[in-house]
Structure 1
Amino acid sequence: MSVSYCVVGGGISGLTAAYRLRASAGAQARITVFDPGDRLGGVLRTEHVGGQPMDVGAEAFVLRRPEVPALLAELGLADRQLVSSGARPLLYSRQRLRPLPAGTVVGIPSSAASMTGLVDDATLARIEREPARPLNWQPGGDPSVAAVVADRFGQQVVARSVDPLLGGVYAGSAATIGVRSAAPALAAALDAGAASVTDAVRAALPPAGAGPVFGALAGGYAVLVEALVARSGLRWVQAAVETIDRAERGWTLLDAGGDRWHADAVILAVPAPRLAALIERVAPRAATAVGRIASASSVVVALAVPADTRLPQQSGVLVASEETLHTKAITLSSRKWGRRSDLELIRLSFGRFGDDASRATDDELLAWALADLATVFDVTVEPVDVRVQRWGDAMPQYGPGHAGIVAELRAGLPPRLAVAGNFLDGIGVPACIAAAGRAAAEVVGAVTAPVAP
């Protein structure tokens, strides 16, 4: 008899899990993916803006992690990989554009010089004195980034240097993200006995000349999504799963259309809030753990504008959290990846944990976008094309103690049930690919394990 696997969620995590299941379980396995969306891919979503493919969800991946380049090579897509142009981002703070500070780890400074012109003289003096102050670090601890940085360097460093970077990654802030998630190398240096946070930052800095940080795909992430769907040989059921229950051999799933499905094993690749509700009956311990992971919503406004629009030769702008702009980040996509048409492509990101940007209408969001572009660049933008994409509860907050929560979640899952997603081991695409591979290996191992006598 063929083995049946069900994957709930058709984003990058679910699709990678389906692909890995096919590779491990063979051609005879039945792999069904449930997702109610109008297309597969989740937050990997490519739209045509001004006639050009443009990602309106996840945009880039970190090149220093191996997962995406390795997967592209497996799928025969290595030649579609792009690297960023080398243009640097700017920082908008105190109502003006400034260079993004160098010599930092997620905005945490390695010297006072890296903050010159960004913070006041008292804060610069505080940064200078930090290495001489006694450090009370508990090895293995995981305080919020804000708690550490405000104590050691002051609140201006938090708002003007750290928050802009963490807001762009997590749609959160230094107050909502733990040190171990935001800066694992920094936490490791502190665990190893660094005498100060300054020393730990210096130890955690990437080597000079490490090359481009970010990569993307020519044609957008749709290229990867299509390849994973084709190579996994999955069956897509365009419906949400409402309940999951134990069966005599594996699991029974009930979808929103009222159909029941049997699975020898299941991988749940849905956002944390949805997962908590789905496993409450079958894995209450795991449901309690995942219920502790908060999520933020975000919105992307993508614009195509005339090529002669006066924009800086930079990759974009990050916005300090103390500013009154609506946007948290502006990506000058044509400058970041190289212009491939007679139009400029721009992305504006809205939404931080606890705000209500996602509730704004499309017209309000566009008005905010145009006003913020005028404020930041002193330019009147006349869009040729516009796309607004909302991502509800799509940005998990990796708060203090996050790794412990994830360990509790995984430990509370029964056999033949695994999880994947951006709320586990990292929010980026590489981490999602790694977690999906782990989930697939777990369920295939459980299904094929010899039955105890």
Structure 2
Amino acid sequence: MQRSTNRVDTGTGHVVVIGGGIAGLAAAHRLLATGLRVTLLEATDRLGGKLMTGGIAGTQVDLGAESMLARRPEAVDLARAVGLGDRLQPPATATAAIWTRGELRPMPKGHVMGVPGDPAALGGVLSPEGLARIAQERDLTPTAVGDDVAVGAYVADRLGREVVDRLVEPLLGGVYAGDAYRLSMRAAVPQLFEVAREGGSLLDGVQRIQQQAADRRQTGPVFQGIDGGIGTLPDAVADAVRAAGGEILTATPVLGLTRTTDGWDIRTDTRVITADGIVLATPAWSASTLLAAESPAASVELAGVEYASMALVTLAFRRSDVAATGALDGRSGFLVPPVDGRTIKASTFSTHKWQWVADAAPDLFVLRTSVGRYGEEDHLHREDAELVDVSLRDLAEATGLAAKPVDTEVTRWIGGLPQYPVGHLTRVARIRDEVAKLPALRVCGAVYDGVGIPACIASAHRAADEIAADLAGEIIATPTPVQGTRSEAGQ
């Protein structure tokens, strides 16, 4: 039976945000601060996108993103604005390892996304031949990079493939689940791209980056988590949005967008909502579909964005069983170079890394592994039990861990991370140029300016500010933050 469609006229000064991930929620939060009315539509029955908590052996943990870069202000500022300032918590330890050449080895220091400034720190991780190759770098002629270049191709040309395969790949893979030989240096590691454009020695360029960071005397933690999980941030933002008068509708898929003489019609499965502006905070494939009629050129560009899928395997052990084996030390976890042919690409020892996890479950040891990267996603078709078993086998080989878990949880993130191949930022510029031709419609999210939480929030703020300016007819000042309904104590 066909469902009737009712038209809802909500008046002027109304913006509809499509997508309830952290970007959509941040956009709604920002828009409300300008005095506009906001409705947020989320197709699923859950807010937060890739930020999600869940239970393991009776303890709440992150089942998606677990930390946010603190050296960028957007995510930390938003957490404070919605009442989570007193729950911000840096990692208890940042001592990580790399599982390579059959051993867990300390992660070398003094690098920029795996690119070293001093090869002396790489002993044991690279072979003598690999170290000798790096030593030749200052004698090489400059490598032309043009408008963009793949990180792996450039670094391999300057320092040899071993640096890419055993350092750059696992570090970039942890962020993008991508292939370093495809990833855009300009988009993924802009600091290195500027060094490459200057020409000269890459080693010297990395040392300059490190010296500049030291000169800025950056203090405070590089990363922050939240007591109770990063996955609590979306609900806190949603609470603040509702408290400020915003409307949030879940399980409300958007089926189409149509321009009208005075704004937009947004068609859902039950009604048509009128709006003066739209913020489209959805994955690229969804944005492509919704823009097909009104902006075919932007739709085609968005359809070309590829994604990587991955799975997180969360395991809880009795702490006494882990201690008895002596298998794990105080590390936060380890990375795994794809070149070594393992199934897992990383493991995080959550009980070591996050004090709130240790405090919440003093009798448990919680860790998680990640499986899957761009072009290597066959593992994701395995049953949950198989992913648990292969994770346990790799963990046993890497650490000697022989204990059996008391609980497990497998979380699949299908199409979880957009890929940033060479030329990605040029594609993004074309998308934004086409979208800007539409009245009061903007896009935001992980596709555009970075996959990290602060980058997604910054993208949302940009979209919200531009929409507000469009509707006001002039550039507006930075809006006053919407305050949350939760306690601000401790800030």
The normalised TM-score by structure 1 is 0.94
Q: 1:286–1:409: 8 Å Cα contact kept in structure 2?
A: yes
Q: 2:310–2:370: 8 Å Cα contact kept in structure 1?
A: yes
Q: 2:144–2:199: 8 Å Cα contact kept in structure 1?
A: no
Q: 2:312–2:369: 8 Å Cα contact kept in structure 1?
A: yes
Residue 343 of structure 1 pairs with residue 364 of structure 2: yes
Report SS of the residue matched to 1:439.
helix
For 1:143-162, what aligned pairs fall within 5 Å after superposition?
143-162=149-168
In structure 1, distance between residues paired with 2:104 and 2:219: 26
Report SS of the residue matched to 2:279.
strand
In structure 1, distance between residues paired with 2:403 and 2:395: 7
In structure 1, distance between residues paired with 2:111 and 2:75: 25
Report SS of the residue matched to 2:83.
coil
- 1:50 Cα deviation (Å)? 2.3
The equivalent residue for 2:351 is 334
For 1:171-210, what aligned pairs fall within 5 Å after superposition?
171-191=177-197, 193-205=198-210, 206-207=213-214, 210=219
Residue 426 of structure 1 pairs with residue 450 of structure 2: yes
In structure 2, distance between residues paired with 1:72 and 1:319: 31
The equivalent residue for 1:261 is 273
Report SS of the residue matched to 1:322.
helix
In structure 2, distance between residues paired with 1:204 and 1:56: 34
In structure 2, distance between residues paired with 1:361 and 1:303: 16
The equivalent residue for 1:352 is 373
Q: 1:104–1:114: 8 Å Cα contact kept in structure 2?
A: no
- 1:417 Cα deviation (Å)? 1.0
- 1:410 Cα deviation (Å)? 0.7
The equivalent residue for 1:232 is 241
Residue 286 of structure 1 pairs with residue 292 of structure 2: no
In structure 2, distance between residues paired with 1:304 and 1:177: 34
- 1:189 Cα deviation (Å)? 2.7
Q: Deviations over 1:172-210 (max 9, x none)?
A: 12112111222211222333x352111111122242885
Report SS of the residue matched to 1:235.
strand
Return 57-66 or 72-81, whichever deviates more.
72-81
For 1:27-426, what aligned pairs fall within 5 Å after superposition?
29=37, 31-138=38-145, 141-191=147-197, 193-205=198-210, 206-207=213-214, 210-233=219-242, 234-255=247-268, 257-308=269-320, 309=322, 310-338=327-355, 339-340=358-359, 341=361, 342-356=363-377, 357-413=379-435, 414-426=438-450
Return 233-242 or 11-20, whichever deviates more.
233-242
The equivalent residue for 1:22 is 32
- 1:162 Cα deviation (Å)? 0.6
Give aligned pairs, total: 444
Report SS of the residue matched to 1:174.
coil
Q: 2:68–2:224: 8 Å Cα contact kept in structure 1?
A: yes
Q: 1:87–1:313: 8 Å Cα contact kept in structure 2?
A: no
What's the RMSD between the two structures over aligned residues? Answer: 1.7
- 1:55 Cα deviation (Å)? 1.0
Q: 2:311–2:412: 8 Å Cα contact kept in structure 1?
A: yes
In structure 2, distance between residues paired with 1:72 and 1:2: 30
- 1:16 Cα deviation (Å)? 0.7
- 1:433 Cα deviation (Å)? 0.7
> Which amino acid in 2 is paired with 1:100?
M
Q: Which runs of 5+ in 1 are unaligned?
A: none
For 1:442-453, what aligned pairs fall within 5 Å after superposition?
442-449=466-473
The normalised TM-score by structure 2 is 0.87
> Which amino acid in 1 is paired with 2:302?
V
Q: 1:83–1:215: 8 Å Cα contact kept in structure 2?
A: yes
Q: 1:90–1:314: 8 Å Cα contact kept in structure 2?
A: yes
In structure 2, distance between residues paired with 1:79 and 1:421: 27
Identity %: 37
Q: 1:170–1:396: 8 Å Cα contact kept in structure 2?
A: yes
Q: Deviations over 1:322-374 (max 9, x none)?
A: 12221111000111112212211111111100122332221221112211211
Q: Deviations over 1:409-441 (max 9, x none)?
A: 111111211111111111000001111011111
In structure 1, distance between residues paired with 2:174 and 2:232: 24
> Which amino acid in 1 is paired with 2:71?
R
In structure 2, distance between residues paired with 1:274 and 1:394: 13
Q: Which runs of 5+ in 2 are unaligned?
A: 1-10, 475-491
Q: 1:111–1:127: 8 Å Cα contact kept in structure 2?
A: no
In structure 2, distance between residues paired with 1:67 and 1:225: 14
Q: 1:296–1:392: 8 Å Cα contact kept in structure 2?
A: yes
In structure 2, distance between residues paired with 1:15 and 1:120: 47
Q: 2:44–2:250: 8 Å Cα contact kept in structure 1?
A: no
